[in-house]
Structure 1
Amino acid sequence: MNARQKHRPPGPDRTHADSPGRPVRRGRAHAPSAADTAPNPERRQEILEIAAKLFAEYGYKATSIREIAERAGMMGGSLYYHIRSKEALFIEIHDRALDAAARRVRAAMASHTAPWARLEAACTEMLEIQLNPESLTLPIMNNFRSVPEAVKAILVRKRDQFEALFRDIVDALPLPAGIDRQIYRILLLRLLNTADTWYHEGRMSRSEIATQILAIFRHETPPESADVPKKPASPARRRRAAA
């Protein structure tokens, strides 16, 4: 479970039949109306946004159709006028999140032509996406292991499309002949996609982290930055330097 996803403590309130002991956070549910059942792009967008937040906060398994409907102020059955199933709803949200991330990465690279500059821009933007507490991309992607196998197969196809963006970036890099570009790309994406597990605000900015990542993957010394505090030398090191 991602750090942003929560366990829901049991409470005395009415609970979902499919989730014993889990309290319901009810919206203003009402009987189906013409507004609930008629095609409405704005209403459907509202449902997608509500479902995305619930999936991101509580995970795929712990979020029910009934709860999404109640948060939207609808009866559970009315939701099916706007969506086909919980699985289809999650797939659409997942795909939209990746499409939005791909657009941001492409926009960040648009002003660069040099391969290494394009990679640094892509890394910086990925960190901004993954580390933004308001972003839904990372928690939605981290639901991957909890979805049914049939849904996973569909999600994998979309992820392959997104990773093709980084495959093109890596393929353009002037890497040594002995470097396997697939392994290089996998390691880079794994590092970026797990940023929320190792990044801490304060010591370095996200752009500085991206510069460090680029330097490591480029096997070079990164430029000095006045914003990166330097640790004082130990007494033993100072004595060695003086000698």
Structure 2
Amino acid sequence: MSRMNEGEAAGGRRRQIMEIAAQIFARKGYRGTSMRDIGEAAGVLGGSLYHHIKSKDALFVELHHAALDAAEQQIAAAIDCHDDPWGRLEAACATLLDIQLDPHSLTMPMMNDFREVPERVRVALIDRRDRFEQLFRSLVADLPLPAEIDRSIYRNLLLSQLNSAADWVRPGRMMPHDIAAQIVRVFRHDDDDPPPA
């Protein structure tokens, strides 16, 4: 086997291990997952796993960052189709809800498992999450909101609703884009509506 083929095979094997690890982390959480679990599920015994993976912490951080990278790319692509600030916000909300509510999603368990990890891992996760939220910071900054509304509070309330959607959305009642439209409607502040009589 040539060196290129060996490298491709090793890269393919590592990707396979990463996918298996992501599924186990999503199902069992950070604390409930061991390197032995990952090795057994991937069919890699003993120290051979450490040839592909440096440590559980490094693996979890890498998977978390990859999940957020993928989510960020999907949201960026969705909002690119819109010029109107409210349309961009709704597209971002719908895409994040698609990810949040997908029963097979590995992204959200990876994003939301902050309480279980050691402090040094938490710092890396929060730093990457803050960069992800910059996308929503920009979207909210472009909204024509009344001056008295604090945009930081607005953004945090919005993201809290979106990030907890799996806890309060009932499957089958509404599609993610319908829920996003309702959320944006609730969060929209137009001066065009006449005051109540």
Give the corresponding residue for 1:120. 90
Higher relative contact order (CA 8 A, sep 6+): 2
Q: Does the CA contact (< 8 Å) of 1:65 and 1:76 recur in 2?
A: no
Give the corresponding residue for 1:111. 81
Give the corresponding residue for 2:193. none
Give the corresponding residue for 1:218. 188
| Equivalent-residue separation in structure 2 for 1:158 and 1:142 (angstroms) | 12
| Equivalent-residue separation in structure 1 for 2:46 and 2:134 (angstroms) | 38
Give the corresponding residue for 1:17. none
Give the corresponding residue for 1:51. 21
Residue 132 of structure 2, aligned match among 148, 162, 186: 162
Q: Does the CA contact (< 8 Å) of 1:105 and 1:122 recur in 2?
A: yes
Alignment of 1:187 with 2:157, yes or no, is yes
| Equivalent-residue separation in structure 1 for 2:105 and 2:141 (angstroms) | 29
Give the corresponding residue for 1:96. 66
Q: CA deviation at 1:172?
A: 0.5
Pairwise mapping of residues 223-234 of structure 1 onto structure 2 (< 5 A)? Answer: none
Residue 208 of structure 1, aligned match among 171, 178, 187: 178
Give the corresponding residue for 1:153. 123
Alignment of 1:84 with 2:54, yes or no, is yes
Alignment of 1:144 with 2:114, yes or no, is yes
Greater helix percent: which structure?
2
Percent identity over paired residues: 55
Q: CA deviation at 1:56?
A: 0.2
Which ranges of structure 1 fall in alignment gaps of 5 or more residues?
A: 1-35, 221-243
Larger Rg belongs to: 1
| Equivalent-residue separation in structure 1 for 2:58 and 2:172 (angstroms) | 40
| Equivalent-residue separation in structure 2 for 1:82 and 1:196 (angstroms) | 33
Residue 63 of structure 1, aligned match among 3, 14, 33: 33
| Equivalent-residue separation in structure 1 for 2:50 and 2:172 (angstroms) | 46
| Equivalent-residue separation in structure 2 for 1:106 and 1:76 (angstroms) | 41
Cα RMSD of the aligned pairs, angstroms, is: 1.8
Does the residue aligned with 1:201 lie in a helix, a strand or coil? coil
| Equivalent-residue separation in structure 1 for 2:12 and 2:81 (angstroms) | 34
1:139-172, Cα deviation, whole Å (9 max, x unpaired): 1122110000110001111001100010000001
Q: Does the CA contact (< 8 Å) of 2:146 and 2:189 recur in 1?
A: no
Q: Does the CA contact (< 8 Å) of 2:64 and 2:110 recur in 1?
A: yes
Q: CA deviation at 1:39?
A: 7.6
Give the corresponding residue for 1:129. 99
Q: Does the CA contact (< 8 Å) of 2:100 and 2:166 recur in 1?
A: yes
| Equivalent-residue separation in structure 1 for 2:12 and 2:45 (angstroms) | 18
Where has structure 1 moved over 6 Å in runs of 4 or more?
Answer: none
| Equivalent-residue separation in structure 1 for 2:19 and 2:131 (angstroms) | 23
Q: Does the CA contact (< 8 Å) of 1:129 and 1:137 recur in 2?
A: yes
Q: CA deviation at 1:201?
A: 2.1
Does the residue aligned with 1:59 lie in a helix, a strand or coil? helix
| Equivalent-residue separation in structure 2 for 1:185 and 1:46 (angstroms) | 37
State the one-letter code of the partner of 1:139: P
Which ranges of structure 2 fall in alignment gaps of 5 or more residues?
A: 1-5, 191-197
State the one-letter code of the partner of 1:104: Q
Q: Does the CA contact (< 8 Å) of 1:91 and 1:151 recur in 2?
A: yes
TM-score normalised to structure 2 length: 0.90
